[in-house]
Structure 1
Amino acid sequence: MNLQISSTGYNVVFDDTLQGLKDFVQKSNYSKALILTDRNTCEYCLPVLLDAIPELSEYDVIEVDPGEENKNIDFCVGIWRMMLDFGADRQSLLINLGGGVVTDMGGFAASTFKRGIDFIQVPTTLLSQVDASVGGKTGIDLGNIKNIIGTFAQPKAVFIATKFLRTLDRRQLTSGFAEVIKHGLIADGEFYDTVKGMDVADLSLKHIKHSVAIKNEVVTQDPLEKGLRKILNFGHTVGHAIEGYSLVHDSKPLLHGEAIAAGMICEAYLSYRINGLPKVALDDIIRTFRRHFPDYSYDRDRYGALLSLMKNDKKNSGEQIGFALLNEIGKCSIDLFVGEDLIRESLDFYSEVTLQPTYLTN
């Protein structure tokens, strides 16, 4: 298997030995290396990284608290202050070692510090490996509005090693599986058929690489999200709203993949209603996500708050709420705008199907 994919000005390298990262460090001539981690990756993943690259003998560690609730401007200010305290200059390198919060926020911090310094991504979760680390999007949240502040900035390289996945609990691993399934739904029906019935623990480097390749093909054709790249947003208009609401109001907030799974059921329903998705495909999608993800319960009195969050989504045009919707499994349409009544209907539909055990059968 080819161990790397060429993206927009950088390579995505797949290698459990991290030899590619070791070579990168040995060949580079940076004035300083800084490693951004969260508390969990500092404990479980940083030793793995340092063991693989003993040559990385001089570095400083910036540690942040884990969790989406900490992906905000206040934590970025803390990162920038630490970079200053450690004497970082424009020839410094920031190594982002962590999940999507670390890679999103670290990329943003690097792309804005002294108008931009180099950074590399070493994603340690399935979600960050197949989604957040590839494509050049950096970002932070503003309140409970996801990724509303950010830049387009490409890393110097991305290094993916499945050994980091062994540090995850099953819930975190399954969260990333939502994006793997999504890549099949929007662009590769055969891949969807392959992974939909798999146990997430059985995903191999081959499956991860294929998922990344799907996203990479899209983002290299449309790096600034002017057209095709919008298909990657399937499930995210409703899903991000659910995630943002849950983050503030639920005692145990949903993980990204859990919210996006619910969003993809809602948006599959919208695809069926207005974009020609066959009913048999809708039913299959419902069964797939209910097989892998827990149901999320909500009352109708949440709809106003959810719609308010959707109205702040980046995909919107004026007052219209924008969607990417399936027309069949493996094909997706963009720039579809849906009225509030139909969105409410999709939320009702999700609540209804979670009460129907027939959608849990294989």
Structure 2
Amino acid sequence: MQTIQATNYSVFFNETGYEKLASYLTASSYSRIFILVDENTSQYCLPHLLNQLATDIEIEIIELEVGEIHKNITTCTEVWGALSELGADRKSILLNLGGGVITDLGGFVACTFKRGIDFINIPTTLLAMVDASIGGKNGVDLGNLKNQIGIIREPKAVIIDPSFLSTLPQREMRSGLAEMLKHGLIYDKLYWDKFKNLTNLNTDDLNELIHQSIQIKNTIVCEDLTENGIRKALNFGHTLGHGIESFFLESEDKKTLLHGEAIAAGMILESYISKEKGLLSNEEYHEIKYIINDIFEPIVFEATDIEKIIALLIFDKKNEFGKVQFALLDGIGRSKINQESDNKLIYKAFEDYLL
């Protein structure tokens, strides 16, 4: 697959990525290479990466526990401490080998350790390949509030190796599809149409869909790196989706949702708001709802759940002047940013979702 050029880095694919990684590490004369993994990627992905690293530079491994619950400042402190104890300096580089938690947190750790060391993202989940590792957003959660602490700084490179996807459970694969669906909905109707029938999807088809999804996100980010305009469109489904994800994360009696599962629900809800605002036709809304519900199992919400989710919206990082800001659809394949919605309409969206 063809290399994708971002603002200040490249996204490489398959063997090309490992060749570029080896030559880059040699040319940059790093003092040490640190690889950040979690328990799963340490077991299933690290051996493959180490076999690809043709370098004499000393390599150290830092392993974290699995899960969004560990994406916080406490974990960052532990990683900063490990880097210091293992002799990291400003000429060290951090390779983030994992899903969205590892790439988000690892990027933030690298950006802040000794005022910034280089990092490269090597995503191992579908979600991280098409979203978390691309675009330079790095950060952690504040309690159960998503991505409240962070910085925008691009990696030195991103390496996409779809062979890692064979290590994923089916639920994790579905989670990644949510962001791909979103890219079609906000930017490219023809791309969205490809998800109407996934019955005969093969490996080559999936690899091409991944490449196109990354291209869409990269095109948007290159136009607006610091999210002052069009990049806000990438938040479609995330205002309510993050509220849902945070609520289920903090609720002891609820099953924790994967990011994509929460975002899938958020996209249906925000599609309904788009429809009610006259931006989306009734036919388009029902098409979106049907296709997403065909891939993702609908979430059950109690009335008290909805109240608490709406209360969390005020913490969304897109808000301005105390007002909740939505990125909505302006028809399939187009978006409209900086949109507001009152709570009454949000409640109606939940009511329709539950039908």
Tell me the TM-score normalised to structure 1 length.
0.94
Partner residue, 1:14: 13
Deviation of 1:276 after TM superposition, in Å, equals: 1.9
Question: Bigger shift: 269-278 or 128-137?
Answer: 269-278
Partners of 1:25 and 1:56 within 8 A in 2: no
Partner residue, 1:80: 80
Q: What is the letter of the counterpart of residue 161 of structure 2?
A: A
Q: What is the letter of the counterpart of residue 328 of structure 1?
A: G
Q: 1:346 aligns with which of 341, 345, 349?
A: 349
RMSD: 1.4
Deviations 1:51-94 (A, max 9, x none): 12243662111111111111000000000000000111111100
2:279 alignment partner, SS class: coil
Which residues of 2 match residues 144-155 of structure 1 at below 5 A? 144-155=144-155
Which residues of 2 match residues 277-292 of structure 1 at below 5 A? 277-292=280-295
Q: Distance in 2 between matches of 1:63 and 1:266?
A: 37
Partners of 1:323 and 1:336 within 8 A in 2: yes
Which residues of 2 match residues 100-115 of structure 1 at below 5 A? 100-115=100-115
Partner residue, 2:233: 231
Q: Distance in 2 between matches of 1:192 and 1:53?
A: 37
Partners of 1:14 and 1:160 within 8 A in 2: yes
Q: Distance in 2 between matches of 1:42 and 1:95?
A: 13
Q: What is the letter of the counterpart of residue 209 of structure 2?
A: H
Question: Bigger shift: 141-150 or 242-251?
Answer: 242-251
Which residues of 2 match residues 133-282 of structure 1 at below 5 A? 133-199=133-199, 202=203, 203-249=205-251, 250-282=253-285
Question: Bigger shift: 204-213 or 93-102?
Answer: 204-213
Q: What is the letter of the counterpart of residue 51 of structure 2?
A: D
Deviation of 1:245 after TM superposition, in Å, equals: 0.7
Q: What is the letter of the counterpart of residue 155 of structure 1?
A: P
Q: What is the letter of the counterpart of residue 221 of structure 1?
A: E
Name stretches of at least 5 consecutive residues in structure 1 with no aligned partner.
Answer: 353-362
Deviation of 1:251 after TM superposition, in Å, equals: 4.4
Partners of 2:318 and 2:324 within 8 A in 1: yes
Cα 1:112–1:57 change in 2 (3 A) is closer
Q: What is the letter of the counterpart of residue 36 of structure 2?
A: L
Question: Bigger shift: 24-33 or 170-179?
Answer: 24-33
1:328 alignment partner, SS class: coil
Deviations 1:291-327 (A, max 9, x none): 1001100101112211121110011122321100001
Q: Number of aligned pairs? A: 351
Deviations 1:214-252 (A, max 9, x none): 000000000000000000000000000101111121443
Partner residue, 1:299: 302
Name stretches of at least 5 consecutive residues in structure 2 with no aligned partner.
Answer: none
Partner residue, 2:51: 51
Deviations 1:233-277 (A, max 9, x none): 000000001011111214431100000000000000001001420
Deviation of 1:20 after TM superposition, in Å, equals: 2.5
Partners of 1:50 and 1:56 within 8 A in 2: no
Q: Distance in 1 between matches of 2:304 and 2:267?
A: 21
Partners of 2:9 and 2:157 within 8 A in 1: yes
Q: Distance in 1 between matches of 2:210 and 2:194?
A: 12
Partner residue, 1:358: none
2:335 alignment partner, SS class: strand
4+ residue runs over 6 A deviation = none
Deviations 1:310-358 (A, max 9, x none): 1100111223211000011000000001111111111111112xxxxxx
Partner residue, 1:359: none
Query: Once the two structures are aligned, what percentage of the paired residues are identical?
Result: 45
Q: Distance in 2 between matches of 1:276 and 1:158?
A: 36
Partners of 1:16 and 1:162 within 8 A in 2: no
Question: Bigger shift: 249-258 or 322-331?
Answer: 249-258
Tell me the TM-score normalised to structure 2 length.
0.96
Q: Distance in 1 between matches of 2:77 and 2:88?
A: 14
Partners of 1:71 and 1:105 within 8 A in 2: yes
Which residues of 2 match residues 291-330 of structure 1 at below 5 A? 291-330=294-333
1:197 alignment partner, SS class: coil
Cα 1:300–1:56 change in 2 (3 A) is farther
Deviation of 1:16 after TM superposition, in Å, equals: 4.5
2:194 alignment partner, SS class: helix
Q: Distance in 2 between matches of 1:275 and 1:36?
A: 46
Q: Distance in 2 between matches of 1:102 and 1:64?
A: 9
